[in-house]
Amino acid sequence: MSDPALNEMIWQIVASIPPGKVATYGQVAALAGCPNHARYVGSTLKKLPKDTTLPWHRVVNAKGESSFPKDSDGYKRQLARLNDEGVSFRNGKLSLSQYGWV
DNA sequence: TGTATGACCCCAA
DNA sequence: GTTGGGGCCATAC
């Protein structure tokens, strides 16, 4: 589809995530209007520019952990960011029940 | 046009 | 808690 509207929608949703909270790809996709587009969100975020202001670090998978290898720079940056926002990681994972975006 | 891949999600054993 | 399989959509070659 490559719907730019959907793309902007995703950005809006991700940008709407309050600090100290995290949302899952499925959550963002569902809020975007496509509960099955979880994969699309990840793929889209991955293609985002490096100078993007989008807080993609607040988006995690359904397991409550980062979806990309910790060897990646983004992974460390995400953990650092979330940790700075008050999110406590547990063995590389976090409590969606506690930090999950409502 | 078709195949392969991916920062995913859900369910069952 | 871990592992395996199936399904979803979009992108890249």
Give strand letter and number of the nucleotide nearest A36 (CA to C1').
C8
Extract the tokens encoding A14.
């991700």
Please report which confidence band the pLDDT of residue A1 belongs to, taking 50, 70 and 90 as the band edges. low
The pLDDT value recorded for residue A33 is: 87
Q: Stretch A73-93: mean pLDDT, rounded?
A: 91
CATH of the domain at A75: 1.10.10.10
Angstrom distance, A31 CA to C13 C1': 32
Please measure the distance between the N-terminal and C-terminal CA atoms of chain A and give it in whole angstroms: 28
Q: Which domain holds residue A32?
A: 4-99
Q: What's the mean per-residue pLDDT of chain A?
A: 91
Which neighbouring-strand residues pair with A65?
A: A93
In one letter, which amino acid is A30? Answer: A
The pLDDT value recorded for residue A3 is: 80
The pLDDT value recorded for residue A102 is: 86
- Structure-token match 């509960």, residue found: A35
Rounded-to-integer distance, Cα A14 and Cα A95, Å: 19
Of A19, A17, A24, A64, nearest to A42 (Cα)? A24
- Determine the protein residue whose CA lies at the shortest distance from the C1' of B6: A43
Give strand letter and number of the nucleotide nearest A59 (CA to C1').
B7
- A91 in contact with nucleic chain C (CB within 7 A): no
Please report which confidence band the pLDDT of residue A29 belongs to, taking 50, 70 and 90 as the band edges. very high
Q: What is the pLDDT of residues A37-80, one digit of tens each?
A: 999 999 999 988 888 899 999 999 999 999 988 888 889 999 99
- State yes or no: pLDDT of A6 exceeds 80: yes
- A43 in contact with nucleic chain C (CB within 7 A): yes
Q: Stretch A12-32: mean pLDDT, rounded?
A: 94
* Total domains, chain A: 1
